[in-house]
Amino acid sequence: QGSQKRSNSTPETPRPKRTLSSRSPYALFSPSSFSPSVTPSQKYTSRSSRGEVVASFGSVQGPSWSGRGGASCTPKLFGPLEENLTKSYKFMFQKALDVREVLSWRIEELGDALKSHHHLEEFASVLLPAQEPVTVLGQIGCDSNGKLNAKSVVLEGDREHSSGGQIPLDLSELKEYSLFPGQIVALEGTNSTGRMMVVSKVYEV
Is it the case that residue 118 has pLDDT exceeding 80? yes
Identify the three-state secondary structure at position 40.
coil
Task: Summarize the confidence of residues 7-35 as an average pLDDT.
Answer: 56
Per-residue pLDDT band at 70 (split at 50, 70, 90): low
Beta 153-157 vs 184-191: how paired, if at all? unpaired
Nearest one of 194, 92, 100 to 139, comparing CA atoms: 100
User: Is residue 184 a contact partner of residue 107, using CB atoms and an 8 Å limit?
Assistant: yes
Q: What is the pLDDT of residues 133-161, one digit of tens each?
A: 999 999 999 887 778 888 889 999 988 88
Spatial separation of the C-alpha atoms in residues 12 and 198, rounded to whole Å: 71
Nearest one of 162, 185, 182 to 174, comparing CA atoms: 185
What domains sit in the chain, N to C, each tagged with a CATH number?
93-204 (2.40.50.140)
Q: What is the pLDDT of residues 34-68, one digit of tens each?
A: 555 556 667 766 777 667 766 776 666 666 666 66
Task: Summarize the confidence of residues 164-181 as an average pLDDT.
Answer: 90
Per-residue pLDDT band at 3 (split at 50, 70, 90): low
